[in-house]
Amino acid sequence: MYLCSAKKQKDMTTVFIEENTPEAKTFLEYTRTLPFVTVVEAPKKSFEEAVAECDAVSVDAFFDELDSRIEKWTNHA
């Protein structure tokens, strides 16, 4: 799973989901039931093309950066 920054969309986050596992399909079905979520079916691109298009980072990289920022913040508090 990758997260895209909301550069072009105000107050929105874009999540790309590769639907090649039962867990991903279940997650997507659940996501569609949430009142604050809109699922937009994009034209079929390869997953790699979609990720590259929005300068996405892996969820692991995102949380590594978040943890690093939290650590720096707590050291300055």
Q: pLDDT by residue (tens digit) across 13-42?
A: 777 787 778 998 898 889 889 888 878 776
Q: Could you give the number of structural domains in the chain?
A: 1
Q: What's the predicted TM-score (pTM) here? A: 0.41
**Rg of the chain, C-alpha, whole Å:** 15
- Structural domain containing residue 48: 2-76
- Would you state the torsion angle of the CA atoms of residues 4, 9, 13, 14, taken in this order, to the nearest 10 degrees? -50
- Please, which pLDDT band fits residue 64 given cuts at 50, 70 and 90? very high
pLDDT at residue 28, rounded to an integer: 87
